[in-house]
Amino acid sequence: MSEHVEIQNKQHSVNKAEEDGIHLLDVCAALVRQRRIIIILPLITGALALTASLLMTPKYVSTAVIMPPQQQSSSVSSMLGQLGGLAGGVGGIAGLKNPNDLYVGMLQSRTIADNLIERYKLKERFKKNTMDETREKLTKVRALSNGKDGLIGISIEDKDPKFAAELANAHVTELAALTKGLAITEASRRRVFFEKQLKAAKDDLANAEVAMRKMQEATGMLQLEGQVKGIIANEAQLQGTIAAKNVQLQSMRSFATVNNPEYMRLQEEVRGLQNQLEKQQNGKGRAGDVMIPSGKIPEASIEYVRTLRDVKYYETIFELLAKQYELAKIDEAKDSSMIQQLDLAVPAEEKTKPKPLALTVVAFIGGGVLAILIALLRDTYISSRKSEKNIQRWMVLRNAWKK
């Protein structure tokens, strides 16, 4: 008997739990009761989306594709070996992980943006009050793609397909103009370095020549003949070569480590030249050679020798740097440093957005989800108004709101 009572209690508990919980059939019944909302609301949202898409201003996208300069080892760099290991040290200047990132960054620069804003009066076209707002708008209508194929795409979105194509092509023009004034490639950086060194050497040579002319006017000594002149010329040649090699070492410290084979070879060459210069200055030449130490030349001759040595010294530096500068210029001219436009942006024939069908489908699905939610809430509210307990709860809530 007790077992029978216990089974009845369990069954009663289960029935009560099912009554208190939400059953799937209850949800389905609620949706059926509110079927008008579920049918009408998605149709309304879909129709509104379709109408809005037809009324929206169409947008067109035009794309220009460029091929940036390829960072390659220059052919003329191998010729610099006769002047030392400088070429090998400068070779690692353009060591970017992805060189295209540099050009993408330049396209996003404020310089190009401001030039385009001024050129096409984008401030008035975009209806913006400040340059910052105009740049931000330009960023939104522009899309840059950096593909694995090494090409860069510049896409512009605008309501006027002709203007979109023109603005995309203008980005290429501005990028090409900007790269001309910047040392980006390996050859251009090397050319800039030697250009500065050559200018300094030219000024030093001019000062040395002026000093020699003043000395000749003061002493009346125009030249030294014979062995002394040969000794001084050799010494000046050695000092000039050592100075030029030191310039090469200074340049390589910016691009190579101390363990670089070319750097170590150049250091040994400089040490050998310095030892040879010390022997010549001390009068210690090879067996059978008659060497005169420069310190024992008469005072008037020493002044002449010193000025002549300075001239020869700066002449040697100038000649060596001039050769490297000319080679760098040739290298820069042969380097493919020009921006090449692979695809010219043309006016788009079809609009990219809005897409009426896609917007209608999305609005219809969104309206369906919203309709289900509203239907469940409405059915729950209607059901709650029929229960005495819920009516009392509504009254309590209404009284609390009035207070």
3-state secondary structure 236-289: HHHHHHHHHHHHHHHHHCCCCCCCCHHHHHHHHHHHHHHHHHHHHHHCCCCCCC
- The pLDDT-based confidence of 88 (bands split at 50, 70, 90) is very low
60-185 CATH? 3.30.1890
Give φ, ψ of 365 to 5 degrees. Answer: -65, -45
Residue 59 DSSP one-character state: B
C-alpha to C-alpha distances, 27 to 31, 119, 178, 337, 385, nearest whole angstrom:
6, 63, 66, 70, 18
pTM passes above 0.85: no
For 30-65, the pLDDT digits (tens) are 777 878 888 888 888 888 887 777 777 788 899 999
Q: Which residue type is seen at 396?
A: V
Q: Distance between CA 256 and CA 259 in Å, rounded?
A: 8
Interacting residues of 319 by C-beta distance below 8 A, sequence separation 6+: none
Task: Give the residue extent of every domain in the chain.
Answer: 19-56+368-402, 60-185, 202-333
CA dihedral 369, 373, 378, 383 (to 10 degrees): 130
How many of the other CB atoms lie within 10 Å of CB of 132? Answer: 10
How many of the other CB atoms lie within 10 Å of CB of 403? Answer: 4
Residue 96 has pLDDT above 80, yes or no: no
Residue 248 has pLDDT above 50, yes or no: yes
Average pLDDT over residues 81-109: 61
Please tell me the predicted confidence (pLDDT) of residue 292.
45
How many of the other CB atoms lie within 10 Å of CB of 161? Answer: 21
Residue 362 has pLDDT above 60, yes or no: yes
Please tell me the predicted confidence (pLDDT) of residue 30.
74
Residue 328: strand, helix, or coil? helix
Q: Look at the alpha carbons of 32, 36, 39, 45 in this order and tell me if their dihedral is positive or negative.
A: negative
Please tell me the predicted confidence (pLDDT) of residue 117.
93
Highest mean pLDDT among 200-214, 218-232, 299-313: 200-214
Q: Tokens standing for 161?
A: 């397909």
